[in-house]
Amino acid sequence: MNSGNHPKQKTAVLESNTINAIPESARHGKPSSQFTLWLSANLQITAVVNGALAIVFGSEALSAIIGLFIGNVVGGAVMALHSSQGARLGLPQMISSRIRFGVKGAALPLIMVIIMYLGFAATGTVLSGQAINKIFGFESASTGIIIFGLMTALIALVGYKLIHQVGRVASILSIAGFIYLATQLGTHYDVPGAFGQKPFSLAMLVLTIALSAGWQLTFAPYAADYSRYLPADTPSRSIFWATFLGTVIGAQCAMTFGVLVAACGGNFLKDQVGFMGDLAGPAFAALIYVFIVCGKLTVNCLNAYGGFMSILATVSAFNNRSSVSQRVRTAYVVGFVLLSMVVALAASADFLNNFKNFVLLLLMVFTPWCAINLIDFYCISKGKVDIPALYTSQGRYGAYNQVALVCYTLGVLIQIPFLNQKLYKGPVAIWLDGADISWIVSLAFTALVYYPWARRTTSVPERTIPFAAPDKPADENPALVKALAPGKS
């Protein structure tokens, strides 16, 4: 069916839905929206830093670009498979985790996701604040941070539709900005001379693959949040390819630029925003700062929007609610943005670097979560969900799913010997000359353990059971009570 044939529903300026299932009457949009959103979310300054780190870690430029591409493709495929779930279920990504972990058990990965959102939001706010200060000549570092925080809160409050619109504008600006900066880099630096400066190292190639794969895996908890409004009959493959191409092309272009900048000997890592302005030249520096702000604004809105929904999903697991009032929604969004601004304002440069390392270490908690989520959706439940049961611990999915929680814990622990992070290096990683294969081991191990165990123990509904009245507690909701009645399949 053609998803464009669905009648459009007149909606308020502010989005009213939060963690509830999106009704078909509110569905709209096309898969192409996923391409522009994820292109702009990746084609930004932090992804450039991620690419530059490959050179800092000791990789040769060409092998770094190849390794980053492999990691982006593999990690991007995992991330895009999560995005395809959005239209099918109409649920936020982390609410659907209750299918696997239980209504209260899903709070474990949710807490880690909230910390990740907060860390990335704070560091992104610092960079964007610097760019705003340079545009307007503000002397106080806090001024730009506050302005950027207000912009983030406003867009996140309006919600889903505006976030996608910002993504479309930012994607155009980002493409233009990177083309210009790449031209300037070729003009002012010896780009061909950046290649072949170091010998090829298999360990460095594997580490570089992990760098970009890890980048993509951190987007997995975001993915379905921004496809859940698409009509339910939108082809999953269309959503997959739009998301996959957007996230891979955006990340690869930005990371390749970072590799070349670092290999050419620029001082980008010392002053990321200032370097890009200097590279642009006096005539276009202000425009490049605008491009930086727009690129970071897209991903920061994803952090704020996903952050408040993750906090709400955690709290709601213990009060059996599936939606909140507009006032409460506003309080969650503003509170999250204010907290990220406080961290950004209070933190020293050293603290931010340490905090980013801590957030990167959290990547190990998303790998087994990805394996469990994908195996369950595509191989066990196959998209059949008892939606009312997701909002009460007395339903089909219960409070805690021991199978998923045990497999998740094992999937985290098995990575420890294979890790190569700044905070910790495992014995196997040292034996492999620094190669970090922890995420590969965790993906394979978790999938192999979870699939046969969950297949024997999981109760799958015969069809998806809708939730007609998602605004009431469990004991006041007739649709939910009926769905939970004895003998209900």
pLDDT value of residue 390: 86
pLDDT value of residue 476: 43
Q: Evaluate whether 329 touches 136 at the Cβ level (below 8 Å).
A: no
pLDDT value of residue 2: 43
Q: What gap in Å lies between CA 67 and CA 208, rounded to an integer?
A: 5
pLDDT value of residue 435: 81
pLDDT value of residue 237: 93
412-433 tens-digit pLDDT: 999 999 988 777 788 998 888 8
Q: Which of 485, 267, 254 is nearest to 392 (CA)?
A: 485
Q: Evaluate whether 480 touches 467 at the Cβ level (below 8 Å).
A: yes
Taking the alpha carbons of 435, 438, 444, 445 in that order, is the dihedral positive or negative?
positive
> Which residue type occupies 364?
M
Q: Which of 171, 191, 210, 167 is nearest to 74 (CA)?
A: 210
Q: Where are the alpha helices (DSSP H) in 90-106?
A: 98-101
Using CA atoms, how far residue 413 sits from 365, 406, 410, 417, in Å, is 9, 11, 5, 9
pLDDT value of residue 356: 57
pLDDT value of residue 475: 43
pLDDT value of residue 488: 36
pLDDT value of residue 467: 66
pLDDT value of residue 179: 93
Q: Evaluate whether 28 touches 163 at the Cβ level (below 8 Å).
A: no
pLDDT value of residue 46: 86
Residues of the chain below pLDDT 70: 1-13, 321-322, 348-360, 362, 467-489
Q: Evaluate whether 213 touches 69 at the Cβ level (below 8 Å).
A: no
Domains detected in the chain: 34-363 (1.10.4160.10)
pLDDT value of residue 12: 57
